[in-house]
Structure 1
Amino acid sequence: MSIPTPEKGHVAPYTHPAAGWGALKQVAVNLIKEKVAGGKYKTLFKQNQPDGFDCPGCAWPDRQHASTFEFCENGVKAVAAEATSKRVTPAFFAEHTVTALMAQSDFELEQHGRLTHPMVYDAATDKYQPVAWQDAFQLIARHLNQLDDPNAATFYTSGRASNEAAFLFQLFVRMVGTNNFPDCSNMCHEATSRGLPVTVGVGKATVLLDDFQLTDAVLVFGQNPATNHPRMLNELRDCAKRGAAIVSINPLKERGLQRFTSPQHVSEMVTGQSTKIATMFVRPKLAGDFALIKGLGKRVIELDDEAIATGSKRVVDVDFLAEHTAGFEAFAADLRAESWADIVAESGVPREDIDALADVYVKSERTIACWGMGITQHKNSVSTIQLLSNVMMLRGNIGRPGAGLMPVRGHSNVQGDRTMGIEEQPDEAFLDRLGAAFDFEPPRAHGQDVVAAINAMLAGKVKVFIGLGGNFSIATPDTPRTWEALRQCDLTVNIATKLNRSHLVIGKDALLLPTLGRTEIDLQNGVAQGVTVEDSVCMVHISYGMNKPASPELRSETAIVAGMAAATLGSDKVDWHWYAQDYARIRDAIEKVIPGFERYNERVAQPGGFHLTPASRNRVWRTASGKAQFLVHAIDKDTPIQRARARYGDDLLVMMTTRSHDQYNTTIYGLDDRYRGVFGLRRVVFINPADRARLGFAEGERVDITSVWEDGVTRHARDFLLVDYDIPAGCLGAYYPETNPLVPLESIGDRSGTPTSKSIPVLLARAASVQTSAQAAA
Structure 2
Amino acid sequence: MSQQKAVIKPYHHPAAGWGALKQVAAQLALQKIPVKGVMTLLAQNQPDGFDCPGCAWPDKEHTSTFEFCENGVKAVAAEATAKRVPPEFFAKHTVTELMGWSDFSLENEGRLTHPMRYNPATDKYEAIEWDDAFALISVHLNGLDHPDQAVFYTSGRAGNEAAFLYQLFVREFGTNNFPDCSNLCHESTSIALPATVGIGKGSVTLHDFEHADTILIFGQNPATNHPRMLGELREAAKRGARIVAINPLKERGLERFADPQSPFDMLSFKGSKISDLFIQPTLGGDLALIKGMIKFVIQWDDEAQKHGTERVVDVDFITEHTRHFESIAEDARQESWDVIVAESGVPLAQIEEIARIYATGDRVISTWGMGLTQHKHGVATIKTLVNLMLLRGNIGKEGAGLCPVRGHSNVQGNRTVGIYEKMPVEFLESLERVFDIKVPRTPGYDAVGAIQAMIDGQAKVFFGLGGNFSIATPDTDRTWAGMRNCDLTAHVTTKLNRSHLVHGKQALILPCLGRTEIDTQASGPQGVTVEDSMSMVHISYGMNKPASPHLLSEPAIVARLAHATLKNSKTPWLEFIKDYSKIRDMIERTMPVAFKDYNQRIKTPGGFRLPVPSSERIWNTPSGKAEFSVQAIPQHSPIHQAREQYGDRLFVLMTTRSHDQYNTTIYGMDDRYRGVFGQRRVVFMNPQDIARMHLQAGDWVNLVSVWPDGISRRANQFLVVAYDIPPGCLSGYYPETNNLVPLESIADDSRTPTSKSIPVILEKTNAPEVVHAA
The TM-score bracket by the shorter chain reads over 0.9
Letter in 2 for 1:699: A
Q: Is the 8 A contact 2:13 2:270 kept in 1?
A: no
Aligned match of 1:358 in 329, 335, 355? 355
1:532 aligned counterpart, secondary structure: strand
* Aligned-partner residue type, residue 355 of structure 1: E
Residue 475 of structure 2 is aligned to residue 478 of structure 1: yes
Deviation at 1:622, TM superposition (A): 0.4
The 3-state SS of whatever aligns with 2:459 is coil
Match of 2:281 in 1: 284
C-alpha deviation, 1:634, in angstroms: 1.1
Q: Deviations over 1:295-353 (max 9, x none)?
A: 11111101111111111110000000000001111111111111010000011011000
Work out the CA distance in 2 between the residues paired with 1:761 and 1:683: 18
1:685 and 2:683 correspond? yes
| CA deviation after TM superposition for structure 1 residue 68, in Å | 2.3
CA contact (8 A) 1:178 1:447 kept: yes
Q: Contact 2:448/2:751 (CA < 8 Å) preserved in 1?
A: yes
The reply on whether 1:344 has 2:350 as its aligned counterpart is: no
Q: Deviations over 1:535-591 (max 9, x none)?
A: 000000001001000000000000000111000003641111101111000000000
The structural deviation recorded for 1:204 is 0.4
Structure 1 residue 698 displacement after superposition: 2.0
Matched residue type, 1:219: L
1:694 maps to which residue?
A: 692
Offset from partner CA, 1:380-427 (integer Å, 9 cap, x none): 000100110111000000000000000000010000000010000111
Deviations 1:737-763 (A, max 9, x none): 000010000000000111100000000
Superposed CA deviations along residues 685-707 of structure 1, whole A, max 9, x for unmatched, are 00001101101112210000001
Q: CA separation in 2, counterparts of 1:572 and 1:698? A: 65
Please list the CA deviations of residues 58-103 of structure 1 after superposition, one character each: whole Å capped at 9, or x if unmatched. Answer: 0000010032221300000000001101000000000011000000
8 A Cα contact 2:248 2:281, kept in partner = yes
1:71 aligns with 2:68: yes
RMSD: 1.2
Q: 1:432 aligns with which of 424, 429, 432?
A: 429
Aligned residue in 2 for 1:450: 447
Counterpart check, 1:370 vs 2:372: no
Indicate conservation of the 8 Å contact 1:748/1:754, yes or no. Answer: yes
- Look up the match of 1:776: none
Tell me, yes or no, if the aligned pair for 2:555 and 2:577 is still in contact at 8 Å.
Answer: yes
Which amino acid in the other structure matches residue 676 of structure 1?
R
**What are the Cα deviations for residues 16-70 of structure 1, in whole angstroms up to 9, with x where unaligned?**
1100111011111000000012221100001111121100000000010032221
Residue 737 of structure 1 is matched in structure 2 by 735
Post-superposition offset of 1:266: 2.4
Tell me, yes or no, if the aligned pair for 1:58 and 1:410 is still in contact at 8 Å.
yes
Give the partner amino acid of 2:488. L
**Is the contact made by 2:252 and 2:673 (CA closer than 8 Å) also made in structure 1?**
yes
Cα deviation for residue 7 of structure 1 reads 5.0
CA distance in 1, matches of 2:703, 2:269: 41
Q: Which amino acid aligns with 2:722?
A: D
Preserved contact between residue 18 and residue 255 of structure 1 (Cα < 8 Å): yes
Q: Which of residues 284, 308, 317 in structure 1 aligns to 2:314?
A: 317
Identify which of 603, 606, 622 aligns with 1:605.
603
SS in 1 for 2:42: helix
Question: 2:620 — aligned with what?
Answer: 622
Question: Is 2:294 the partner of 1:261?
Answer: no
Name which of 710, 719, 722 aligns with 1:721.
719
For residues 46 and 436 of structure 1, the distance between their equivalents in structure 2, rounded to whole angstroms, comes to 40
4+ runs of 1 displaced by more than 6 Å? none
Q: Are the equivalent residues in 1 in contact too, given 2:42–2:65 (CA < 8 A)?
A: no
**After the TM superposition, which residues 257-656 of structure 1 pair with which residues of structure 2 at under 5 Å, given as runs?**
257-525=254-522, 527-570=524-567, 572-594=569-591, 595-656=593-654
Question: Conserved in 1, the CA contact under 8 Å of 2:161 and 2:529?
Answer: yes
Encode CA deviations 1:593-615: one digit per residue, 9 max, x unaligned. 12310100001111100001311
Deviates further, 586-595 or 137-146: 586-595
Count of paired positions: 769
Give, as a single letter, the amino acid of the residue that structure 1 aligns with 2:366. Answer: A
Matched, 1:131 2:128: yes
Could you tell me which runs of 5 or more consecutive residues in structure 1 were left unpaired when the two chains were aligned.
774-778
Contact 2:234 2:274 in 1 (8 A): yes
In the aligned structure 2, how far is the partner of 1:401 from the partner of 1:741? 43
Spell out, residue by residue over 1:367-386, the C-alpha distance to the aligned partner (whole angstroms, 9 max, x if none).
00000011110000001001
Query: Which SS does the other structure have where 1:223 is aligned?
Result: coil
Question: Match of 1:311, as an amino acid?
Answer: G
Q: Distance in 1 between matches of 2:605 and 2:318?
A: 38
Deviations 1:200-219 (A, max 9, x none): 00110100000011011000
Measured after TM superposition, the shift of residue 526 of structure 1 is 5.7
Distance 1:633 1:171 in 2: 38
Name the CA distance, whole Å, in 1 between partners of 2:151 and 2:263. Answer: 50
Distance 1:395 1:416 in 2: 30
SS at match of 1:765: strand
Residue identity in the other structure for 2:15? A
Instruction: Flag structure 2 segments of 5+ consecutive residues without an equivalent.
Output: none
**Of 84, 91, 95, the match for 1:87:** 84
Residue deviations 1:125-152, cap 9 Å, x none? 0000000000000000000001111000
* Counterpart among 199, 217, 221 of residue 220 in structure 1: 217
Q: Are positions 1:146 and 2:143 aligned together? A: yes
> Does the 8 A contact of 1:5 with 1:105 survive in 2?
no
Moved more, 614-623 or 62-71: 62-71
Percent identity, aligned pairs only?
Answer: 63
Q: 1:701 to 1:769 in 2, by over 3 A?
A: closer
Q: Which amino acid aligns with 2:652?
A: V
Equivalent residues of 2:68, 2:260 under 8 A apart: no
Deviations, residues 181-226 of structure 1 (Å, cap 9, x unaligned): 0000000100000110000001101000000110110000000000
Scaled by the length of structure 1, the TM-score of the pair is 0.98
Q: Which residue of 1 aligns with 2:169?
A: 172
| Cα distance in 2 between the residues matched to 1:50 and 1:171 | 29
Kindly indicate whether the alpha-carbon contact (under 8 Å) linking 2:63 and 2:605 is maintained by their aligned counterparts in 1.
no
On the 8 A contact 2:523/2:579 being kept in 1, the answer is no
2:518–2:545 Cα contact (<8 Å) kept: yes
Match of 1:182 in 2: 179
Contact kept? 1:257, 1:278, Cα under 8 Å:
yes
Residue in structure 2 matching 1:673, options 655, 658, 671: 671
Task: Please report how far the alpha carbon of residue 8 of structure 1 lies from its aligned counterpart in structure 2 after TM superposition.
Answer: 1.5
Q: Matched residues in 2 for 1:146 and 1:40: separation? A: 45
Distance (whole Å) between structure 1 residues aligned to residue 711 and residue 51 of structure 2: 44
Aligned partners of 2:645, 2:460: CA distance in 1, in Å?
A: 40
- The alignment's TM-score, normalised by the length of structure 2, stands at 0.98
Q: 1:5, CA displacement in angstroms? A: 7.4
